[in-house]
Structure 1
Amino acid sequence: MLNILSDFLVRRPEGYYCQYGDFYIDAMLPVPVDVVSHGHGDHARPGHGIIYCTAVTGAIMHYRYAQQPLSSYRKIDFKSSFHIGQVELTFIPAGHILGSAQILMEYKGVRYLYTGDYKLQEDETCEPIEIVQADVLITECTFADPDVIHPDPIAEIKKLNEQPFNILLGTYGLGKAQRLTDLINKHCPNRRVLVHHGILPLHRIYDDLGPKKLVYEQYNRREMKLGEPNKVYMVPPMTFNSYIRATNVVRAFASGWKRLQQHNDLSLFISDHVDWNDILYFIQAVKPQEVWTLHGDGRILKQHFEGNLDVRDIY
């Protein structure tokens, strides 16, 4: 009989805390020991004493948080186990962005799997997700709603081919921008990708550490105004919002959120998170005895499995 510890991972103001190894996961405030699932700013923050992460996540954090001492990083390869206290941890590819990891934690014969953010859709710019079985699945719930089913990203990106104008494409700078560049390179071959200076260094990290080279150019105002209207100018959210009066361009924002498609000229539903069907598939594949939810609303998931599987939020 497994002894699943209900307090193995708990929510604290600093982040998610494991008392049995005395470490945090994806802490938002400085802590002595933090295990970071991936490089997005809502999971990776500076100021910690020791940071366990993958090599790519470490490179992203070093670029974003230069004040974090290099000596604080403990860069761990995927599927290489390590110990913090009495807890054995292993990084498993999560498929979310380059370097993103699920965190498998084993303690006294029980396997606890923290997904971080993850996706099942194909993405050639990052490591594909790997599925392992666990007794407790700790899953994000960003889109844990049966009303959210992500469309085919290839069909979505091909919408750009139908536009007779240049395109102002809003995107998150890390992960999404690089995936979009790759999708445009493959499925919109007549489109030139111009990249905002705020995104450019992250493209270069992907070029250096990722599985493939991307085809893109640094943004040049003259290029946008001259020649054929075949450019896609990729910009971060704040820049996209400031260009509300941009003329002679089609405005689009790539996201799984419906609210971010409003007031644009073109909808582009491309998400780097699992949707409802993906979560159900993943739970079936992992075969957990319990599911703990975080990073979103897990109530619908709890109702769906009522009487068949114990689903609860992390307390």
Structure 2
Amino acid sequence: MIRPDLLLHPTPKGLYCPPGDFYIDPVRGAVDRAVVTHGHADHARAGHGAVLATPETLAIMEARYGEEFTTSRQPVEYGETVEINGVTVWMSPAGHVLGSAQVVVEWKGLRMVCTGDYKRRRDPTCRQFEPVPGTHVFISEATFGLPVFRHPDTDGEIRKLLDSVAMFPERTHLVGVYALGKAQRVIKLLREAGYNETLYIHGALEKLCKLYEDHGVALGPLETATLDTKERGAQERFRGKIVLGPPSSFHDKWGRRFPDPLPCFASGWMSVRQRAKQSGVELPLIISDHADWDELTDTVREVDPEELWITHGREDALVRWAELEGRKARPLRLVGYEDESID
């Protein structure tokens, strides 16, 4: 079998495929041809000559960057194969956000899988992760690649939020969520938990919430959390309500106008108590869109590749774990990813 680095290898711009002449999630500068795993900004940049991705990811990129984010776009459904200069490329669900995909690259009998970002837990807003059989080289993210990161039950974290709303009906619960993926997932989980009241959202979430609904993800009654300061007592209608917005929005003038705000933050990083305390979070919600330590290691065992390549996060601990398991592993040391900004 050919050497894996002849098919894919790390470069300053990202993972490059020489025979196919394309990059996977290029992060530094525009390239002629990009294959994009999902729509988060640290994986999907504008300005590439051609972009191949799932239809949902292309729609997300258009919503974020405008219609002319690329010269040419090629939508690929999960499981659909395409040939790029003799290299076969197809997508398998990654379970991270709407449209997220693992990129499967095949050439001369070698199969390599780049996960992008992924999680193994059920997410009602996107397709669940599907392991790719027969993988020779598995390129895994490692955002939470330390044994200390073992995320609690997601439904339990949603219950914590609802219990707090019931316990403090005089307060406005401000829930920090990232605009793509986390916001829609938290909203949908609240609906599944029986919360059918109107949810209020920051204007920055509107476009992507609508996009999710356009793709069949029903989010229930949503209203923009606007505060008319000229209307007497306008803030009072938010007492006992849940308001979702980007984490940064709750520290500015907009967030401080809500009555008796109770700051929350839905993030895998909320398992680090000091981080929650420094952020002024009263109710940390440990809800992550990335695999935790057990999910990372269980996935590697399930896929059982001949080689494990690790990127985007805590590489060294996962390399050491693999070595102790008798697995061949290497860190890629790719630069440019924002390993703590999207979780």
Q: TM-score, normalised by structure 2?
A: 0.86
DSSP 3-state at the match of 2:57: helix
DSSP 3-state at the match of 1:199: helix
CA shift at 1:116, angstroms?
0.4
DSSP 3-state at the match of 2:16: strand
Unpaired segments ≥5 residues, structure 2: 334-343
Which whole-Å CA distance do the structure 2 matches of 1:138 and 1:114 have between them?
A: 5
Paired AA for residue 309 in structure 1:
R
1:310 to 321, 328, 334: 328
CA shift at 1:228, angstroms?
7.0
8 Å CA contact 1:119–1:274 kept in 2: the answer is: yes
Listed as ranges, the matches of 1:1-315 within 5 Å are: 2-28=1-27, 29-66=29-66, 68=68, 72-133=72-133, 134-163=135-164, 164=168, 165-187=171-193, 189=195, 191-221=197-227, 225-227=235-237, 229-242=239-252, 245=256, 248-257=260-269, 258=272, 260-262=275-277, 263-306=280-323, 308-314=326-332
Which whole-Å CA distance do the structure 1 matches of 2:186 and 2:249 have between them?
A: 17
More displaced stretch, 113-122 vs 69-78: 69-78
In structure 2, the CA distance between the partners of 1:146 and 1:30, relative to structure 1 (3 Å rule), is same
Which whole-Å CA distance do the structure 1 matches of 2:219 and 2:241 have between them?
A: 19
Tell me the alpha carbon deviations over residues 243-294 of structure 1, each in whole angstroms, 9 at most, x when there is no partner. Answer: 5756502101110012552221111100000000001111111110100011
CA shift at 1:193, angstroms?
1.2
In structure 2, the CA distance between the partners of 1:224 and 1:113, relative to structure 1 (3 Å rule), is farther
- In angstroms, what is the RMSD of aligned CA positions? 2.0
CA shift at 1:5, angstroms?
2.0
Paired AA for residue 332 in structure 2:
I
In structure 2, the CA distance between the partners of 1:3 and 1:11, relative to structure 1 (3 Å rule), is closer
- Using the aligned pairs only, state the percent identity: 36
8 Å CA contact 2:55–2:75 kept in 1: the answer is: yes
8 Å CA contact 1:157–1:183 kept in 2: the answer is: yes
CA shift at 1:71, angstroms?
5.2
DSSP 3-state at the match of 1:148: coil
8 Å CA contact 1:252–1:261 kept in 2: the answer is: no
In structure 2, the CA distance between the partners of 1:44 and 1:69, relative to structure 1 (3 Å rule), is closer
CA shift at 1:157, angstroms?
1.0
Paired AA for residue 295 in structure 2:
D
Which whole-Å CA distance do the structure 2 matches of 1:69 and 1:183 have between them?
A: 32
Which whole-Å CA distance do the structure 1 matches of 2:63 and 2:86 have between them?
A: 32
Tell me the alpha carbon deviations over residues 162-193 of structure 1, each in whole angstroms, 9 at most, x when there is no partner. Answer: 22122011110000000000111222516531
Paired AA for residue 249 in structure 1:
P
Which whole-Å CA distance do the structure 2 matches of 1:88 and 1:169 have between them?
A: 42
Which whole-Å CA distance do the structure 2 matches of 1:313 and 1:208 have between them?
A: 39
Structure-1 residue corresponding to 2:337: none
Which whole-Å CA distance do the structure 1 matches of 2:238 and 2:196 have between them?
A: 10
CA shift at 1:8, angstroms?
2.8
Which whole-Å CA distance do the structure 2 matches of 1:125 and 1:85 have between them?
A: 34
Paired AA for residue 39 in structure 2:
G
DSSP 3-state at the match of 1:122: coil
Q: TM-score, normalised by structure 1?
A: 0.94
In structure 2, the CA distance between the partners of 1:87 and 1:189, relative to structure 1 (3 Å rule), is same
Which whole-Å CA distance do the structure 2 matches of 1:7 and 1:255 have between them?
A: 37
Which whole-Å CA distance do the structure 2 matches of 1:312 and 1:214 have between them?
A: 45
In structure 2, the CA distance between the partners of 1:224 and 1:102, relative to structure 1 (3 Å rule), is farther
More displaced stretch, 294-303 vs 100-109: 294-303
CA shift at 1:98, angstroms?
0.4
Paired AA for residue 16 in structure 1:
L
In structure 2, the CA distance between the partners of 1:23 and 1:235, relative to structure 1 (3 Å rule), is same
In structure 2, the CA distance between the partners of 1:224 and 1:160, relative to structure 1 (3 Å rule), is farther
DSSP 3-state at the match of 1:137: strand
In structure 2, the CA distance between the partners of 1:16 and 1:241, relative to structure 1 (3 Å rule), is farther
